[in-house]
Amino acid sequence: MALESLRYRRGSLEVLNQRLLPGQLRYERVGGVERAWSAIRDMEVRGAPAIALLGCLSLAVELAGGQGPCEDSGALEEFVGQKLGFLLSARPTAANLGREAERLRAFVRQRAETPGHHEYIEGLLEKDRRDNRNIGAHGASHILGRVPGGGVVRALHQRGSLSRVFCTETRPYNQGSRLSALELRHDGVPVTIIADSAAAAAMRERGVQAVVVGADRVAANGDVANKIGTFQLAVAARHMGIPFYVAAPSSTCDPTLASGRLIPIEERPGTELTHLGGVLLADPEVDVWNPSFDVTPHELITGGIITECGVFAPSEVCRELAERGEP
Q: What is the DSSP string of 200-257?
A: HHHHHHS----EEE--SEEETTS-EEEETTHHHHHHHHHHTT--EEEE--GGGEETTS
- Amino acid found at 89: S
Active site residues: 216
Name residue 296's beta-bridge partners. 224
- Amino acid found at 33: V
Four-residue CA torsion sign, 291, 297, 95, 259: positive
Are 238 and 302 a contacting pair, CB within 8 Å? yes
CA distances from 103 to 32, 117, 132 (A): 20, 11, 20
| DSSP 8-state secondary structure symbol assigned to residue 279 | E
Spatial separation of the C-alpha atoms in residues 65 and 189, rounded to whole Å: 40
CB count in 10 Å sphere of residue 248: 28
